[in-house]
Amino acid sequence: MSLQGPIVVVTEKPVGALVQALAAAGAFPVVEAQLADAPAAIAKIKPSGVVIADIGTDDGAKVQALNRAIARSELVLPVLARVADDAAAAVPDALPVATDAPTGRIVARLSAALRLRALHATVLGRAKLLKAERNIIAELPAAIRQ
């Protein structure tokens, strides 16, 4: 499955090989953004996924702004985070990827997460269709009702 849609790569230093791998897999555009600029980039381009390659320091306020931008996404927004060894990712619920993982592994994990996003969109679409056509309101858990 190709990576369809825009991807935001959050990094404090250039990660050309990762950007090239994402673009080669079909992602367009691939936007590199520093941690401070990432919330605005997410709000502007509404990406299909986010890859946290290197956020440098743990600036709590900037990380919280990033978390809020991710939470405001209409659909499930897959987030992959490069982490060292057993360290926790700065973003809750991010899928951890080893810092030394090859770019192919990151592309594969993101592709799998995007399949989940497509399923989520299908469920929401069918629930809206049921409501519009037959006035049947599907009971969805709050976490997926967005």
Encode 56-74: b = buried (16+ Cβ within 10 Å), e = exposed. eeeeeebbebbbebbeebe
Q: What is the pLDDT of residue 140?
A: 66
- This prediction has a pTM of 0.83
How many angstroms separate the CA atoms of 71 and 52, rounded? 15
Contacts 24+ apart (CB under 8 A), 86-90: 89/52, 90/52, 90/55, 90/58, 90/63, 90/66
Tokens 């990827």 belong to 97
Residue 79, classed as helix, strand or coil, is strand
Q: Are 30 and 69 in contact (CB under 8 A)?
A: no
62-96 pLDDT, tens digit per residue, is: 999 999 999 998 778 999 999 887 777 878 889 99
Vertex 104 angle, CA 47 and 55, to 5°: 55
How many angstroms separate the CA atoms of 29 and 27, rounded? 6
Domains of the chain: 7-117 (3.40.50.2300)
39-70 pLDDT, tens digit per residue, is: 999 999 999 999 999 887 667 889 999 999 99
